[in-house]
Amino acid sequence: MALEITIEDSRWQEAGLEDLARQAIAAALGYFDLDPEDCEIALLACDDNQIADLNAEFREKPVPTNVLSWPAVDLAASEPGGKPAVPEADFTGEIPLGDIAIAYDTCLREAGAANRPLSDHLRHLVVHGVLHLLGYDHISDLDATVMEGLEVEILGNLGLDDPYTVDDSL
């Protein structure tokens, strides 16, 4: 896998980001029968300040968010709930998928609020980001349902619980 990781916040190293991200990316790509060795992804591991700057620049929302994605190619389906196009290799034989940024502070806060391990939430957000690179989104309710279903299935293949269920016993 051509995975370029830039760690701007050292707390991500302590969280085991590289191994967890590789695991999540391989699971997401494998779900679609894409060989991770053929795909290129860049991952920026940052903090809330940096992701807020990126969110302001690219989405005109000057607030922190958990994950952002920039697909190399627009693969989105033309109809809500539709299947995105299959990514294709470029002239080098690699499949450029795009870039993902993830914020430590928001990820940690969300994991705590959901009473989930940081490692599980990190893998969820990386899978979420990869799905965006593959053309999935959650703009419409139908698209959100499709994307969430894919996340649940991919995370289940990793042995992780459904991130959208709420434990009322807490």
Query: Is the distance from CB of 44 to CB of 67 less than 8 angstroms?
Result: no
**Confidence label for 1 from pLDDT (cuts 50, 70 and 90):** confident
Which helix (H) or strand (E) segment holds residue 112: the answer is helix 104-113
Residues 104-129: tens digit of each pLDDT: 999 999 999 999 999 999 999 999 99
* pLDDT value, residue 167: 63
Q: What is the mean pLDDT of residues 19-39?
A: 97
d(CA 168, CA 25) in angstroms, rounded, equals 30
Report pTM: 0.95
* pLDDT value, residue 168: 55
Kindly state the tokens that stand for 17.
């980001």
Q: Where are the domains of the chain?
A: 2-157
Q: What is the mean pLDDT of residues 52-59?
A: 97
* pLDDT value, residue 169: 52
165: pLDDT strictly greater than 90: no
CATH number assigned to the domain covering 2-157: 3.40.390.30
The side-by-side arrangement of strands in the sheet containing 95-103 is: 2-7, 39-46, 95-103, 67-71
d(CA 36, CA 118) in angstroms, rounded, equals 24
DSSP code at position 74: -
